[in-house]
Structures are given as structure tokens and as C-alpha cells.
Amino acid sequence: MVNVRKAFAQNMFSLEGKTAIVTGGSGALGSAVAKAYGYQGAKIILTARNESKLKAYTQEFKAEGIECAYTVADLTDKVQAKQVVDFAVKTFGEIDILACCHGSNAPKDILEQEVDEWQKIMDENLTSVYLICKYAAERLVSQKKGGKVIITSSARSKMGMKNYTGYCAAKGGCDLMVQSMAWDLAPHGINVNSVNPTVFRSAVSEWMFDKESAVYMNFLKRLPIGRLGEVEDFIGLFTFLASSASDFIVGANFDGTGGYWAS
């Protein structure tokens, strides 16, 4: 007899009834991941620093029947990071999923970049991820139900680029942190993995999508898929890694680069 359970196969991607914290919830990727999770039945806690956007997205989600709340936080502050987890538990009773979709960059040559600028990049892309993961993991362990942690890393985590010394180092650190946290948390039934996207469309990157520009054409030389990313391109990976379908996967850095790592 084939050892496949029908109920599992039919429902392995379901997020129905789960509670997900989504960081970077005011950004293009975070808001898209959060809404996709909401469409799939999850209750959503959005967090970021931009309250006006968080409020607008929360209203939008609720209008479509998604259970959602938001809390403003700077995740580089350990007190505020812990407060996000506490808020989620107070609002929905527990947490099941943490999707880290926040980050920033300030490209500059190492000869020109100030140490404070480097530190800011490290704090916003690495330290803040560690903090929110730590406090979410503590809660998940105490619940004794397992859970899912998905970290947004980058195509740049494994391939350097001019003016990206800080960003590449921070995202490379994220990949190794994922692999190390997997060892710490897998025994508690908590799966930690990352999604590593290429450039995707957002308010910050929109200028790169001019198909007549040299920047766009140069990107395509390294992307076998033949285009830059859209936020919907990553929803599948985030869903897979938040669902029971990924129960046997820990410590992985998932290629969302459009083939960049293969070039």
C-alpha cells in the first residue's frame, strides 16, 4: 500500500487557522506575503515602522475578510522586538509562523562608507532578524506545537557586488544564521529556512524596471528567466515554507533568484 495520507496531501499547503507575524509589513514583499497568508486562512500581525501604511493595509485586509492587526516597531530595538511577539499572542492567543520580510540597503564603496552606515545596514538586515527570531522562537518553544520561521535573505548573500559590502555581508550572515538556528530549533519542531530573492518590483526598485535602460539590460544578462521579479513570484515559496508541506526541511536557503545563482 502506498504510504501517502489523503488528508495530508489535500491540505499540506493550508494555513487555515494559523497566526503569522509578518515583519516589513509596510513594504512591497511583506505586505504581499501577509495578504497571501491571509487569503489562505491565516490570521495576520503586520509590523513595521511606517504606521500610516500599516493602518491602510490592515484596513484593506479586513475589508476582504482577513483577520489582521498591526503594531509599529523598530526591530533593531530588543524591547520593541519582544513587544511584537507579545502583541501577537495577546491579539490572537498564540503564534505559528514568523515571516521576516524587512531590511534595507545604502549602497556605497567601502572607501566612502562611514562605519555608522555599515552598522545601520548590519542592524537592519541581521541584528533585527536575530532579535525577532529569538523572541518568536522562545514563544514557539513554550507552546510546544512547533512552528515555521521564514527569513528573507537575498541573491546577494552568496555573490558579492560592487558597493554592497555591508548588504552582502549582512545577508550572508542571514543565510548562516538560518542554518545555525535550524540546529537549535529543529528539535522543538520549528523549521527555519530562508527565501533568497533577486531584485523585485517595489517603490524603491521601480526605476530598475525600465526595459530600455542599461541597468535593466545588464541584469537580464545574469537572469536565465528573462525578467526581474514581482512580489507574487515569491508567495509560493513563503507559503510552502509556512505550511506542513515543508515539515522535513530545515536550514535551507531557497533560490528565488530567477536563475542568478546558476549563471
Supply the residues annotated as catalytic: 167
CB 58 within 8 A of CB 83: no
Using alpha carbons, list the distances in angstroms from residue 131 to 56, 66, 168: 26, 27, 20
To which H or E segment does residue 94 belong? none
CA 99, chain centre distance (Å): 5
Q: Which amino acid is at 113?
A: Q
Output the nine-digit C-alpha cell for 174. 542571514
Using alpha carbons, list the distances in angstroms from residue 163 to 56, 80, 83, 110: 34, 31, 34, 7
CA–CA separation, 24 vs 240, rounded Å?
19
Using alpha carbons, list the distances in angstroms from residue 174 to 50, 81, 141, 142, 179: 24, 17, 21, 24, 9
Q: Which amino acid is at 204?
A: V
